[in-house]
Amino acid sequence: METNNKEFEYKSGYLNGFLMIIIDLMLWGLTIFTFVRAIQLTETPDAKDWLFGVAATMFVACIIFSCGFSMLEPNEAKVMTFFGKYVGTFRKNGFYWLNPFMSVKNVSLRARNLNAEPIKVNDKTGNPILIGLVVVWRLKDTYKAIFDIDTNVDAVGNTAAARMNKFEKFVSIQSDSALREVAGMYAYDNESDNDGDRQVTLRDGSAEINEVLTNKLNERLAMAGLEVVEARINYLAYAPEIAAVMLRRQQAAAIITAREKIVDGAVSMVKLALNKLSDEDIVNLDEEKKAAMVSNLLVVLCADEPAQPVINSGTLNH
C-alpha cells in the first residue's frame, strides 16, 4: 500500500469573488447593450449580424462566468479535478470565483463523533462481554479520502455533509473491527489474587487500552486519509448470560478482602492487649490462658454478630 502523500494545494484558476461580481455585471451590461445596438442597426445588415454574433458569444461567456462563484467556510475544503485529473485541494476561506470547468467535491475537515453501539465479544480469557466505544475523528488527507475509497454520492447529495456520512460508515465498520481485536487482547478483570501478578485489564486499564485502540484505528483508517483524534471505551459489562455468575464472584472477592482486613486488625488488637497486660503488670497469664484469651478476642472481633458477654466469677492463680 502506498504511503506517500499525493495531496497538494490548488493554487491556480481562482479569483476574488467580489471582483468577479463586478466584472460579470459589467459583462452582462455590455452584452445587453450589444443586443440593443444590433437591433437598432437596420441599414447595415452585415454589421447587424456581426453584432448579434458578438452578443451571443458574450451571453454564453456571462453564463459561464456566473457559474464559478463559491464560498468556503473554515475547516472546509474542495477537491478539484479537471476532466478526471486531480489538480489540487482548495482550502482558502472566503468568497472566490473558481474555474467553472473544474469538477468540485466538497469535504469537511471538522472533527466528528462516532458513538458505536455496544457489541458482544470475547475477552482474553474467553468470557463474553459487551463493549462500546466513542471515536473522535476527522479528515486529514483529502486525496486518499476521495480517490482511495469509494464515497460516490449522487448529484443531489454532492455536499460536504453527504460525503462525510459516507466516511462515517467507513469509520464505523473499521471501529467495530479494531474494537474486537483490542478487546481480545485483554481480560475483563484480573482473576489473580496476587497483587504482584496483576495485569492491565479492560476495567482498570482505560488509559493504556484507549491509546492502543487509537493506534489500531489510525492504522486502519490511514488508507482512507482519516485520522482518529481520540478513541475510548464508553461501555463495558459482562454479557447477560454470565453477568449473574460474575457478580457473585466479585461479591465473594470483596467479602474475602474485607475478611482479610478484619483479621489483620483483630490480630493487631490482640497483640496490643497482651503487650499492655504484660508491660503494665496487670495480670500474669500462662500460655494456656493466653491461648484462651486470644481465642475469645478473635471470636469477638471477627464475628458478624455482637458478642454476648459472660462474667467469670472464678479466681486466677498467680
Indicate whether 162 belongs to any domain: yes
Instruction: State pLDDT tens for residues 163-182.
Output: 888 899 999 999 999 999 99
* pLDDT for res 258: 75
* Bridging pattern class, strands 69-72 and 94-98: antiparallel
Q: How many domains does the chain have?
A: 3
Determine what percent of the chain is predicted with pLDDT higher than 90. Answer: 29
The answer to the question of residue 203 being in a domain is yes
Inside any domain, residue 97: yes
d(C-alpha 227, C-alpha 246), whole Å: 37
Q: What pLDDT does 191 receive? A: 61
Q: Domain for residue 9, yes or no?
A: no
* Domain match, 179 and 203 both: yes
Does some domain include residue 7? Answer: no
Q: Extract long-range pairs of 157-163: CB within 8 Å, 24+ residues apart.
A: 158/105, 158/106, 159/106, 160/76, 160/106, 160/107, 160/108, 161/108, 163/105, 163/106, 163/107, 163/108
Please report the pLDDT score of residue 141 as a whole number: 92
Which one of 238, 264, 291 terminates a domain? 238
- All three cell numbers of 296: 475469645
The answer to whether residue 4 sits within a structural domain is no
Last residue of a domain, one of 86, 108, 130: 108
The yes-or-no verdict on residue 94 having pLDDT over 50 is: yes
Q: 103 and 151: one domain?
A: no
What does DSSP assign to residue 312?
-
Asked if residue 156 and residue 95 are part of one domain, the reply reads no
- For residue 5, being part of any structural domain is answered with no
Mean model confidence pLDDT for the chain: 81
| pTM greater than 0.95 (yes/no) | no
What secondary structure does DSSP assign to 218-248, as a single string?
HHHHGGGTEEEEEEEEEEEEE-HHHHHHHHH
My answer on whether 117 and 233 are in the same domain is yes
Q: Are 144 and 226 within one domain?
A: yes
* Residues 252-270 pLDDT 10s: 677 777 777 878 887 888 7
222 and 117 both lie in a single domain: yes
Within 13 A of 242's CA, how many CA atoms are on the CB side? 16
Model confidence at 154, pLDDT cuts 50, 70, 90, reads low
Q: Which helix (H) or strand (E) holds 103?
A: strand 103-108
Helix (DSSP H) and strand (DSSP E) numbers for the chain = 7, 10
Beta bridge partners of 232: 134
Instruction: Assess whether 227 and 132 both reside in one domain.
Output: yes
- 123 and 218 part of one domain: yes
Residue 152, domain extent: 112-238
User: In this structure, what CATH number is given to the domain that contains residue 192?
Assistant: 3.30.479.30
Q: Is residue 3 part of a domain?
A: no
| Mode of pairing for the β-strands spanning 76-82 and 119-122 | unpaired
pLDDT at 318 (0 to 100) = 46
Do residues 144 and 39 share a domain? no
Q: Pick from 238, 255, 285: which residue ends a domain?
A: 238
Say which range, 107-116, 212-221, 259-268, has the weakest mean pLDDT: 259-268
Same domain, 46 and 89: yes
Same domain? 100 vs 117 = no
Out of 32-41, 65-74, 118-127, pick the least confident.
32-41
205 and 124 within one domain: yes
pLDDT of residue 1: 42
